[in-house]
Structure 1
Amino acid sequence: MMIVMLASNPGVASAHATLESSIPEANTQMDASPAAIVLNFNEAIEAKLGSVEVLDSKSNPVTNNKPVVSNGSQTLKLDLPKLKEGLYTVSYQIISVDGHPVSGSYIFVVGNPPEGIDASAFNPHKELGHEGHTVSTQLTTNQFIIYAVRTVYYASLLFSAGIMFWSLLSRGRIDALAAVLRKYELLAMRSLMISALLYVFVHAREIMSGYAGNEYGRLFFSTSVGRDWIVLLVLAILGFLAIRMGKAVKAVWAVIILGLESWSGHAVVYKPEAATVSLDFIHLAASSIWVGGFVLLLALWISDRKEAGRFAVQFSRAALISLAALVISGVAMTLLFLPSLNYLFYTAWGTLLLVKTGLVLLVFVFGGLLHLRVRRGDMPTLSLLRVDGLLMALIIIVAALFTYISPLPVNEPVAYHKMGEDMHLSLRITPNKPGVNKFVVKVWLPDKVGAPKSVILRLRSDDRKELGPIDIPLKTFEDTEITTFDGYVKEAYTAEGPYVPFAGRWTAEIRVMTKNDDEKVERYPFRNY
């Protein structure tokens, strides 16, 4: 039973900021220098800490200008001086509002420099993006440290807040309970102080990777993430004073520190913000009451079985209320975060949640046995307490992983290229999301065949096969990218508009008609979320 508070905890899942579009686009060649670099992200980023650099072919920065944030903190703009012909690299390092570092780089070309037309310097196939990307699934040492520290931190947070709540919730005269509370309040504050320091140190180190040491001041004093960390450490210190105060002060301290976690956590990324943050707070508060109560029950069971039996009656009633709050808030957050429950099957986040669902079934079994024993007036057995404690530890570990995994899959731009003797073909769809997208189709035909007579781009929904195809109104444009192939003539087409009306699985169909009325058809499946 006790694990449901974490098993249904989507409130700690995160959505990471990703680059949706840029000006200039990646791997493009421009006739003249762009006036600025513009990077558009899918969610707000920290305005005071982040960098955008443009490097020339000798890896020297071309400007000392600082990037400017606009569009609700979702756009970074860096004004540029007039650039000469050459190859340039755009490199960015930013922090999303939920505290995750995001970085990347890409190239663009101005004019027609020697390195721009030298085949040994450029690989057109790679520039078109058809080589693909590899992602390592191996857990690195750094990731292991982050997950371990997050696990200890969340366990300490729930434990310390729960102990404070139970100082107020405990009823009647249970001398043994008062003694256990005094002992475990100090232990809880110590564990929170140490884990909070580790938590801040590890994450600050991760975020500031690649930044100069003097930038740490900006992280802590100029960003909401850093300021929240300072408040967390101050609250951890004040906790030592709170345990010497009355019950009401202790409960207020618990409310404040859980409120800080809810406000600075990943729930703040989702809309409506007031609802997600409130639900996350309810989830954390109910979780802390259960965790703190279970630790107290276990401590009393070890030291005084009779007093443990008395406390078990109080704990059982509080557990039922906490369970109801956990289930309701967990389901509500899941529905707010995910457009459809089918998204549970799209990501590792969904897989973990399904695994936790299995653990929840075990929790109901063992928690039900505990509850029945308490109602009969019997003491919980040590084996049942051990199983319940083990399940709690496993779920806290999984919850720590959730805080670093997005519940929503990341939409990746479509970058498809196919080589063939009778035709080369390229398709780009950016940013590849429901709504407005930019479409680019390029066709290379042998010189003897000549430019295509017509090119048609259609989208077919693989989820709603009964729907007719959507024709994209392509127009020719002058392509300046370095994508020429000897012995082939190129024609480029583009369109922009809301031609992807809803998320799902799609197939792009490109129909190329040659001047001899020979039709070549290429299909490419893709999906977005």
Structure 2
Amino acid sequence: MFLKISRFTIFCLFIAFLFVSMSRQVDAHVFVVEESPASNSVSEESPSEVLIQFSGKVDKSFSMKVFDQNNQEILTKSATISDDQKTISIQIPALPNGHYQVQYYVISSNDGHTIEGSYLFQVKWKVQPSTNAENMKEDTTGGGVGKLEEAGNEADVITVPSAIEDKIDKNYFEIFNYSAKAIYYFGLLLLLGWLMIWQVIKSYSFELKKKFLFYGMIFQFLHLIGLVAFLLVQMNIFSAHGISFEFDFPLDTNFGKLWIVSLVLSLIGFLSLFKNQWLDSIWILLIGLTKSLNGHTQEFEPSLLLVGLNSIHILASAFWVAGLVFILLFWRKQQLYVKSFIPIFSKGALISIVLLSISGSMISYFYLPDREALLTDWGFMLLAKIVIVLGVLILGAIIRKRMKRGRLADLKSLIKLDFIFMVLLVIIVSILTSLNPLP
């Protein structure tokens, strides 16, 4: 039996490798198409505007600023966005000779993912105009884009003394962002899986069911807290980058609308869940579909297939996650019921891992632009996920082997290890969904 499962493991990994090796170019995810002035360009006169064009629609709330080589912000007119919401621009005054840095921050209208960056350009007048100090704001960052060091009439050198501080601030923000997403995913998967398991344990003791429903309420609150926390993190992102928060944000984006739908469904769940099998099933499908629509699936083709695959991925993960938590929570006081549940869970978990392997491989195929993308942060996280899934498959084979021999008492330590793998996977997914698959 172990040999059969090992062969199945190798087959799943081979399918995953096949999808990765056959990856092809995709161009649906939002990225920068054009910058004007161009990055690292040298202009013999001052540009009248700074313009950045993207491959897809971005939200109307965005930030774009220009700094001189002393890190003073250039006073500009209000930023504008084109009618098709693909191009942002700002009008700038006549600039004296020097290096300038453009900083921009936008949000994809479809999936809420952020696109941020900066680049340098140089103004080198043939005839130097007079400098207008009124066009400069005070340095409020405590650092500098760069100081100009001239060596005769040769090229200028730029240093960035504030880069380390900016990187530290960004790392802190990323930790908060990933933590909020992890809470959300744990709450989502636990609640969805808990509803599935509820249909299995309805014949168990009254005491167990009462405790089960209590945990179900906790997972509902965890799901709701995760939703609100992640939304608040998004708001902090925007304000931290100089984007003014308006009442209609984020309702004017698909990302925002879907999050509002998720919040409404979460609140409805407090009134309707664990009371009717059909209502539970409908709620599971709706919340799963809403989550699947809100992410990278809207930025890649074929989006309909990706939504379906992502829904399968979420539901399969939910049963596995909730099953592990159920076993660990009730092992000590309800061991007889847990032991009767383990064979059911083992079969369901095997099916879940099969679905996770197939759907995950196909999703990666559509997301990967080429094999070089595996060298990006997104690619490294994907490879880490594959390694852990391999560990889960091997561990699952060992658990099933011991079950066949009737050694259920020896399973708790293995299930704890499986739980650790699950936690690592959820954390990785929280990071993975925040990263851009494109290099």
For Structure 1 versus Structure 2, the TM-score category normalised by the shorter chain is 0.7 to 0.9
Do the aligned residues in 1 keep the contact of 2:190 with 2:318 (CA within 8 Å)?
A: yes
Change (3 A) 1:245 1:215: same
AA aligned to 1:282 is: I
Task: Pick one of 51, 64, 69 that aligns with 1:38.
Answer: 51
- Equivalent residue number for residue 349 of structure 1: 378
- Equivalent residue number for residue 307 of structure 2: 277
Compare CA radii of gyration and give the structure with the larger one: 1
State the distance in 2 between where 1:341 and 1:84 align. Answer: 44
- Equivalent residue number for residue 361 of structure 1: 390
Task: Pick one of 214, 218, 237 that aligns with 1:183.
Answer: 214
Change (3 A) 1:121 1:26: farther
Q: How many residues align?
A: 389
SS at structure 2 position matched to 1:145: helix
Task: Please report how far the alpha carbon of residue 370 of structure 1 lies from its aligned counterpart in structure 2 after TM superposition.
Answer: 2.3
Do the aligned residues in 2 keep the contact of 1:50 with 1:95 (CA within 8 Å)?
A: yes
State the distance in 1 between where 2:311 and 2:154 align. Answer: 51
Task: Pick one of 250, 264, 267 that aligns with 1:220.
Answer: 250
Task: Please report how far the alpha carbon of residue 312 of structure 1 lies from its aligned counterpart in structure 2 after TM superposition.
Answer: 1.8
- Equivalent residue number for residue 172 of structure 2: 141
Can you give the 5+ residue segments of structure 1 that lack an aligned partner in the other structure? 410-529
Q: Does 1:204 align with 2:238?
A: no
Do the aligned residues in 1 keep the contact of 2:105 with 2:115 (CA within 8 Å)?
A: yes
Task: Pick one of 258, 264, 280 that aligns with 1:234.
Answer: 264
- Equivalent residue number for residue 322 of structure 1: 352
Task: Pick one of 84, 88, 100 that aligns with 1:76.
Answer: 88
Q: Does 1:331 align with 2:361?
A: yes
AA aligned to 1:217 is: F
Task: Please report how far the alpha carbon of residue 400 of structure 1 lies from its aligned counterpart in structure 2 after TM superposition.
Answer: 1.7
Q: Does 1:20 align with 2:33?
A: yes
Task: Please report how far the alpha carbon of residue 331 of structure 1 lies from its aligned counterpart in structure 2 after TM superposition.
Answer: 1.1
SS at structure 1 position matched to 2:240: coil
Do the aligned residues in 2 keep the contact of 1:156 with 1:191 (CA within 8 Å)?
A: yes
State the distance in 2 between where 1:339 and 1:62 align. Answer: 37
Task: Please report how far the alpha carbon of residue 165 of structure 1 lies from its aligned counterpart in structure 2 after TM superposition.
Answer: 2.5
Q: What pairs with 1:513-528 in structure 2 (closer than 5 Å)?
A: none
SS at structure 2 position matched to 1:315: helix
Change (3 A) 1:281 1:125: farther
- Equivalent residue number for residue 408 of structure 2: 379
Q: Does 1:291 align with 2:321?
A: yes
Task: Please report how far the alpha carbon of residue 172 of structure 1 lies from its aligned counterpart in structure 2 after TM superposition.
Answer: 6.7
Q: Does 1:92 align with 2:92?
A: no
Change (3 A) 1:44 1:208: farther
Q: Does 1:47 align with 2:47?
A: no
Do the aligned residues in 2 keep the contact of 1:150 with 1:199 (CA within 8 Å)?
A: yes
Change (3 A) 1:60 1:125: closer
AA aligned to 1:379 is: L
Q: What pairs with 1:383-402 in structure 2 (closer than 5 Å)?
A: 383-402=413-432
Change (3 A) 1:120 1:334: closer
Task: Pick one of 67, 72, 93 that aligns with 2:81.
Answer: 67
AA aligned to 1:322 is: S
Task: Please report how far the alpha carbon of residue 179 of structure 1 lies from its aligned counterpart in structure 2 after TM superposition.
Answer: 3.1
- Equivalent residue number for residue 151 of structure 1: 182
- Equivalent residue number for residue 25 of structure 2: none
Change (3 A) 1:206 1:61: same
Question: What TM-score, normalized by structure 2, do the two folds share?
Answer: 0.75
State the distance in 1 between where 2:101 and 2:371 align. Answer: 40
State the distance in 1 between where 2:419 and 2:87 align. Answer: 46
Change (3 A) 1:45 1:51: farther
More helix per residue: 2
Q: Which moved more, 1:92-101 or 1:256-265?
A: 92-101
Task: Please report how far the alpha carbon of residue 292 of structure 1 lies from its aligned counterpart in structure 2 after TM superposition.
Answer: 1.5
State the distance in 2 between where 1:19 and 1:126 align. Answer: 27
SS at structure 1 position matched to 2:88: strand
Change (3 A) 1:166 1:180: same
- Equivalent residue number for residue 22 of structure 2: none
Can you give the 5+ residue segments of structure 2 that lack an aligned partner in the other structure? 20-27, 132-147
State the distance in 1 between where 2:89 and 2:167 align. Answer: 33
Do the aligned residues in 2 keep the contact of 1:180 with 1:296 (CA within 8 Å)?
A: no
Q: Does 1:407 align with 2:437?
A: yes
AA aligned to 1:194 is: I
State the distance in 2 between where 1:23 and 1:50 align. Answer: 17
State the distance in 2 between where 1:325 and 1:358 align. Answer: 17
Task: Pick one of 113, 118, 121 that aligns with 1:104.
Answer: 118
Change (3 A) 1:188 1:18: same
Task: Please report how far the alpha carbon of residue 234 of structure 1 lies from its aligned counterpart in structure 2 after TM superposition.
Answer: 2.2
State the distance in 2 between where 1:402 and 1:220 align. Answer: 22
Change (3 A) 1:197 1:126: farther
Task: Please report how far the alpha carbon of residue 247 of structure 1 lies from its aligned counterpart in structure 2 after TM superposition.
Answer: 1.7
Residue identity over aligned pairs, in percent, reads: 24
Task: Please report how far the alpha carbon of residue 287 of structure 1 lies from its aligned counterpart in structure 2 after TM superposition.
Answer: 0.5
Task: Please report how far the alpha carbon of residue 332 of structure 1 lies from its aligned counterpart in structure 2 after TM superposition.
Answer: 0.8
Do the aligned residues in 2 keep the contact of 1:31 with 1:110 (CA within 8 Å)?
A: yes
Question: What TM-score, normalized by structure 1, do the two folds share?
Answer: 0.63
Change (3 A) 1:29 1:234: same
AA aligned to 1:201 is: L
Task: Please report how far the alpha carbon of residue 288 of structure 1 lies from its aligned counterpart in structure 2 after TM superposition.
Answer: 0.7
RMSD: 3.8
State the distance in 2 between where 1:56 and 1:383 align. Answer: 60
More strand per residue: 1
